[in-house]
Amino acid sequence: MSSLADKRILLGISGGIAAYKSADLVRRLKERGADVRVVMTAGAQEFVRPMTYQALSGNPVHTDLLDPAAEAAMGHIELAKWAELILIAPASAQLMAKLAAGMADDLLTTLCLASEATLAIAPAMNQAMWRHPATAANTETLHTRGTRIWGPDAGSQACGDVGPGRMLEPDALVAEAESLFRPQQHLAGKRVAVTAGPTREALDPVRFLSNHSSGKMGFALAAAAQRAGAEVTLIAGPVNRPTPPGVKRVDVIGALEMRDAAERAADLCDIFIAAAAVADFRPEKTSGQKIKKKEDHERESLALVKNPDIVAGIAAREKLRPFTVGFAAETEKVLEHARGKLARKHLDLIIANDVSAADSGFDSDRNAVTVIDRSGSCELPPALKTELAEQLIELIADRVSTQ
């Protein structure tokens, strides 16, 4: 699937002969699943009629700032907020000058000023205009402000000149837009193992000890690591969640089984992330048959034995030791306890979260965490676990690359 699927792209077209190429650009963006709305300047309409883009984009073309009918359908501020990317192709020298000056004297320039979306321009003009110090200064201003400048190409021009100033071909612009939306491959070539979910410690064939871990955080981390280019093995305790695309899943039940799977995965991985809520203890004996209720017993006690600490075992390795990350779900003295665990378990990094907050932690979709390593700590504000996972993977990738 293209990274442009469902992306909301506002295509601005300013006056220039290259405007005819933008008809093909609309088609190619649409083919990749983008939702495209076109805004034309008055100059652009001298070259191509709005109807062309309307037919190709499947949406009405916007041309006027003060058109009551268009404003009633989708006002210019609404349009500015709607866009995830504003791409101006072709961007004339005049349009670049207006953008650099912050002018808003027509619909397109007003939208650029009113939008927080990424702005990209594909300059197209005569080579002398492109080389002119005024255009060079405007390009520099826009670049410093964060505008993406895609092109121009050099070659023969419509006016007969040869030199820089040709608009990039639609294919090249689509590739630029795709790479803008493609998640960065921070973990390309790396192998990552993640444990997730609870473990179930069987008492007998029908009963077990377990906890409320949903597996959401671990699954989100596995998905984010996969999107970041890693080869991911997800060792999942019993949870009813879909396997993230492209991730190898190993289902386990008890802590001993999780430990064995984790040890095998750790032999082959660069990064080990322990997000599972492993039961601390398991019944000393697991009965082969259902344990019968003893009618004369008012009390019953259960002998438990400690489970192995999976992440500590992996962090203690002398050989084949991956970069090892653990979690610390705490209800009090969160940072203090997390720092203790980081040291005790010899982890490279620990992600601490306060599970006492109502809308954070165990079974919720949101989480707020503090990431701690030996050099210090950094707080990530509350976010959806999926968004947090992206940030954590980026942070882990950064630590791994600098260690």
Nearer to ligand C5P, 123 or 326 (CB): 326
User: CB neighbours of 55 closer than 8 A, spacing ≥ 6?
Assistant: none
CB of 352 to ligand C5P, least distance (A): 10
CB of 264 to ligand C5P, least distance (A): 15
Please identify which of the residues 112, 159, 269, 378 carries the catalytic annotation: 159
Give the binding site for ligand C5P (CB under 6 A): 195, 255, 274-276, 278, 307, 309-311, 326-328, 341
Q: Is 112 a catalytic residue?
A: no
Nearer to ligand C5P, 38 or 275 (CB): 275
Nearer to ligand C5P, 223 or 350 (CB): 350
CB of 402 to ligand C5P, least distance (A): 22
CB of 273 to ligand C5P, least distance (A): 8
Nearer to ligand C5P, 255 or 393 (CB): 255
Nearer to ligand C5P, 117 or 255 (CB): 255
CB of 276 to ligand C5P, least distance (A): 5
Question: What is the set of active-site residues?
Answer: 159
